[in-house]
Structure 1
Amino acid sequence: MADSFHDEMVDDTPATVGGGSAADVEMAEGGAAAASGGRGGSGGGDDEHAAAAGSAELPFAEGGPDDPAARPRVTFAQYLSTPVVTLLIGSGEKETILTAHQGLLVQSPYFAEACAEFADDGSPRQIELPGEDLDAMGCFLEFLYTGDYFPKKVPGQRALEKDPSIPEVDMTGDQLLKHARVYTLAEKFGLTHLKNLASSKIHCVNSTAKGEIAYARYVYQFTSKDDTAIRVPVANFWATRSHTLRAEAEDEFRDLCLEFPQFGYDVLTRVLDEKLKRERNEKMHPGAPGSARKRPRHSSTAAP
């Protein structure tokens, strides 16, 4: 759901890992914003497009998110000198072993609590994560060690770095789901800045209608009803573009509405809100032309 639907650019101001002040990405102008190949506003809504900050600093650059100046700087070498924790990702034949330094892991409240249970008798330090996605966990660890994860955002652009292994257009929704899984993982592990970073990358993906369907289904299945930072842009996107996207994936769109009534309700609410807003504007300014801020969709409309 790339943010080419928006002409505003995402703010790449660095934020401290684990408690960043970057605002969550929201849809602007009643258009889309959450997950699409080429998301951008269309029409005039009341939502603000809050910038999700990218990270230019390593997570170990400061002593803490609350008051860095009050704490001594911790060097990277100090983090690497902490015990190594074994992470068991998945289960059965798909179980994969990853390792990470405890000093970095405990930046997450989730892992800080888990590591607090370890005995100091030299016994193995191991945490089982049978239900987690391996790729998302890899991105999480990459973020802990470097302050970002692949693919990185291109500075000053609403785009991600190019790689031959990544198609220009997300036909299946895999690229959107990659960042969505990082988002929900960051929510579980308590890293707000990683959530903001993943959300901002979602807006850089160019996708098709069926890719958007897969993304919307994941969002409504695995995020809280109260998580408006990610749900509102999805509903806005479909409310604004459903007249064209539905034709590309009408059966899938119908199935999604039946599977997740909240999705259908959210989309309908946005459509009706926009209709009411137009009617009010017409009464206040009779004869005035329609919104001059509509912009074309820049994402691919190719059939998956």
Structure 2
Amino acid sequence: MFGRGRKQSVSQGSTKSVKPPPTASVRDSGVSKRRPSVASTRRRPSIAPSANTLVDSSCSNSPIVTLVVGPEHRIFAAHEDVLAKSPYFSTVLRKQYMESSSKRLALPDEDPEVLSSILEYLYKGDYSPRLVHNKRRDAWEIESNDAATVELHGINGEVLKDTVIYCAGEKYGLDELKRIALRKQGLRTGVQCNTILLSARYAYANTSDNDSKLRAHYLALIIRSRNTFKRSGTMQAEMFNGGSQLFFDLFVALSNHVDDISSPRGTAHGRF
């Protein structure tokens, strides 16, 4: 039986396949009922790209491009040479400048906070909060768990920021950014079930059908934390509404998991 709408959260954990560990319990899943504060989830990156903050000596001679972002027409500025690191921007700039001398790009469908992180990555090779290497533990960590989610126009709820950045990396042709975002997402902890499900739906809506990284991450996460999700009223409602590729893929992944833990005679060594 499913629970009735009780908010629960799980630890993301990094993974490379949809096959979960042999056992997964509530304790193993890092369940936390504490919800991040509104201030922390809405906090903007420490660097808000602008013509003043992103001047770099290596591209000081490059023309400045004005970016008009989102329905509110937020203004950003970046060097043309830096934007050109993205195949998407390189193509758009080249086509536009064949028709006009104005170095101004309109991105009405982009979220300003997402674009801020994209520019931060293009200039600095990462986005806030940064990925740092703990030499003592020889492990990668996020410098803070702040700004874990973002609110996007047209979506009723918060989506994991790293999922949104991964999808933006695919849109702008930035494969290394996708790898960074996926690694960060695997390090997030204490994420609400409803946030995970909404983010999974966003991932499926904004990645190609042959994506084998982010989609697989969500399938493995839900299976690994199945003891939490099977008590989630949100999960129950999502399954009732259903009808998406996400839940068919989840069914296939669960079926494969059952096959993996079954003996040749069909006797299961584990259970959900």
Shared topology, TM-score over 0.5? Answer: yes
Partner residue, 1:195:
178
Match of 1:228 among 212, 219, 226: 212
Q: What is the SS of the residue equivalent to 1:116? A: helix
Separation in 2, partners of 1:267, 1:122: 48
Within a 5 Å distance, the mapping from 1:133-212 to structure 2 comes to: 133-156=111-134, 157-162=139-144, 166=147, 174=158, 177-206=160-189, 207-212=191-196
Within a 5 Å distance, the mapping from 1:94-113 to structure 2 comes to: 94-113=72-91
Alpha-carbon contact 2:147-2:161 (below 8 Å) kept: no
Q: What is the SS of the residue equivalent to 1:155? A: strand
Partner residue, 1:30:
20
Deviations 1:62-81 (A, max 9, x none): xxxxxxxxxxxxxx524121
Deviations 1:116-150 (A, max 9, x none): 13549994301111111111110000011111110
| Residues matched between the structures, number | 220
Which amino acid is the alignment partner of residue 20 of structure 2?
Answer: G
Separation in 2, partners of 1:253, 1:216: 15
Separation in 2, partners of 1:95, 1:200: 32
Match of 2:252 among 269, 274, 278: 269
The structure-2 alpha-carbon separation of the partners of 1:128 and 1:273, relative to structure 1 and needing over 3 Å to count, comes to: same
TM-score normalised over the length of structure 1: 0.63
Kindly indicate whether residue 238 of structure 2 is the aligned counterpart of residue 258 of structure 1: no
Match of 2:62 among 82, 91, 108: 82
- Compute the displacement of 1:89 (Å): 0.6
Structure richer in strand, relative to its length: 2
TM-score normalised over the length of structure 2: 0.69
Alpha-carbon contact 1:239-1:268 (below 8 Å) kept: no
Separation in 2, partners of 1:102, 1:86: 9
Q: Give unmatched runs, 5+ long, in structure 2.
A: 1-9, 22-27, 31-55, 149-155
Alpha-carbon contact 2:16-2:217 (below 8 Å) kept: yes
Indicate the percent of aligned positions where both proteins have the same amino acid. 24
Separation in 1, partners of 2:240, 2:186: 23
Q: Relative contact order (C-alpha < 8 Å, sep 6+): which is higher?
A: 2
Alpha-carbon contact 1:86-1:99 (below 8 Å) kept: yes
Q: What is the SS of the residue equivalent to 1:140? A: helix
**Stretches (4+) displaced over 6 A:** none
Deviations 1:13-39 (A, max 9, x none): xxxxxxxxxxxx6237435xxxxxx97
Alpha-carbon contact 2:12-2:187 (below 8 Å) kept: yes
Partner residue, 2:221:
237
Q: What is the SS of the residue equivalent to 1:26? A: coil
Alpha-carbon contact 1:180-1:219 (below 8 Å) kept: yes
Separation in 2, partners of 1:112, 1:208: 38
The structure-2 alpha-carbon separation of the partners of 1:244 and 1:102, relative to structure 1 and needing over 3 Å to count, comes to: same
- Compute the displacement of 1:220 (Å): 1.9
Q: Give unmatched runs, 5+ long, in structure 1.
A: 7-24, 32-37, 41-75, 292-304
Alpha-carbon contact 2:68-2:104 (below 8 Å) kept: yes
